[in-house]
Amino acid sequence: MDILDGFYGKHYKKYIALPAVLFVVFAFIAFIYPGIPQGIDLTGGTEIIVHSQTQINVSEVQSILEEEFQLTELTVIQTASGFRIKYSNDPKSVEAEELIIQAENSLDNESESIEYSRQAMLVLNKETQETYANPKLALLAAQTALADYKEVFSQTLLDMLSEKLGLGENVSFQRREVSPTLGSTFYQSGIMVALWSTILVILVVFAFFRKIVPSMAIILAAILDILAAMAGMALFNIPLSLASIPALMMLIGYSVDTDIMLTHRLTKRSTVPAFQRATESMKTGLTMTGTTLAALTAMLLISYFYQIDIIYQIAAVLVFGLIGDLFATWFMNAPILLWYTEKKGGKL
Q: How far is the CB of 24 from other proteins (least distance, A)?
A: 25
> For other proteins, which is the closer residue by CB, 103 or 178?
178
Q: Tell me how crowded residue 221 is: count the other CB atoms within 10 A of its CB.
A: 29
Determine the Cα–Cα distance for residues 179 and 214; give it in Å rounded to an integer: 45
Q: How many CB atoms lie within 10 A of CB 207?
A: 9
Q: Give the closest residue to 279 by CA, choosing from 267, 266, 290.
A: 266
Q: Based on the shown chain and the rule CB under 8 A, indicate whether residue 147 belongs to the binding site for other proteins.
A: yes
Compare residues 55 and 131 and give the one whose CB is closer to other proteins.
131
Q: Does residue 155 interact with other proteins by CB under 8 A?
A: no
- Report the residue from 11, 67, 108, 133 that binds other proteins according to the rule CB under 8 A: 133
Cβ-based nearer residue to other proteins, 29 or 145: 145
**Cα distances (angstroms) measured from residue 95 to each of 102, 124, 149, 190:** 11, 9, 13, 27
The answer to whether the CB of 285 falls within 8 A of the CB of 330 is: yes
Among 83, 87, 254, 330, binds other proteins (CB under 8 A): 254
Cα gap 129→136, rounded to integer Å: 17
Of 130, 148, 159, 163, the residue at the interface with other proteins (CB under 8 A) is: 130
Of 18 and 220, which CB lies nearer to other proteins in the complex structure? 220
**Helices 180-209/244-267 angle, 10° precision:** 10
Contact code string over 273-292 relative to other proteins, x by CB under 8 A: ----x--x--xx--xx-xxx
Question: Which of positions 164-203 make contact with other proteins (CB under 8 A)?
Answer: 174-179, 181-182, 185-186, 189, 192-193, 195-197, 200-201, 203
Strand 171-178 with 45-52, pairing: antiparallel
- Is the CB of 89 or the CB of 303 nearer to other proteins? 303
204 forms part of the interface with other proteins (CB under 8 A): yes
Out of 14, 264, 344, 347, the only residue in the binding site for other proteins (CB under 8 A) is: 264
Residue count, binding to other proteins (CB under 8 A): 80
Amino acid, single-letter form, for residue 223: I
Smallest separation, CB 250 to other proteins (Å): 5
Indicate whether 21 belongs to the interface with other proteins (CB under 8 A): no
Of 82, 81, 124, the C-alpha closest to 99 is: 124
Looking at beta carbons only, is 19 or 45 nearer to other proteins? 45
How far is 257 from 112, CA to CA, in rounded Å?
A: 59
Asked whether position 242 contacts other proteins by CB under 8 A, the answer is yes
Choices 12-20, 163-171, 264-272, 340-348 (CB under 8 A): range interacting with other proteins = 264-272
Query: Of 21 and 191, which CB lies nearer to other proteins in the complex structure?
Result: 191
**Residues between 302 and 331 with contacts to other proteins, criterion CB under 8 A:** 302-303, 306, 308, 310-311, 314-315, 318
Give per-residue burial for 137-152: e unless 16+ CB within 10 Å, then b.
ebbebbbebbeebbee
- Residues near 44 by beta carbon (within 8 Å), at least 6 away in sequence: 88, 89, 178, 179, 180, 181, 182, 183, 184
